């Protein structure tokens, strides 16, 4: 499967990691899907286009206790 990358500003973080939005061929926004599923967190250290949306998705995943937010034990 192919993925498509879209870049924002900044393109790299302070440790030279490439920052990109990842889309699947069917136009699924993978970054958002991972956060909604509780499999990724929103990085609030940087200012980027989808920061507020990702932060909201993270809060919703926490409240739903999914993925990494699932209560263990």
What's the pLDDT score for residue 41?
A: 97
- For the cut 70, the answer to whether the pLDDT of residue 26 exceeds it is yes
**Tens digit of each residue's pLDDT (9 = 90 or more) over 27-56:** 999 999 999 999 999 999 888 999 999 999
Give the model's confidence band at 72: pLDDT under 50 very low, under 70 low, under 90 confident, else very high. confident
Tell me how far apart the alpha carbons of residues 42 and 31 are, in angstroms, rounded to a whole number: 9
What's the pLDDT score for residue 21?
A: 98
**In the numeric block, which tokens belong to residue 73?**
């034990």
CB 62 within 8 A of CB 56: no
């Amino acid at each position: 499967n192919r993925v498509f990358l879209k870049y924002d500003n900044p393109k790299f973080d302070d440790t030279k990691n490439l920052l990109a939005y990842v889309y699947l061929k069917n136009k699924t926004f993978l970054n958002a899907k991972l956060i909604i599923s509780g499999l990724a967190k929103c990085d609030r250290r940087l200012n980027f286009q989808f920061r507020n949306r990702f932060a909201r998705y993270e809060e919703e995943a926490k409240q739903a206790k999914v993925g990494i937010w699932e209560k263990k034990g």
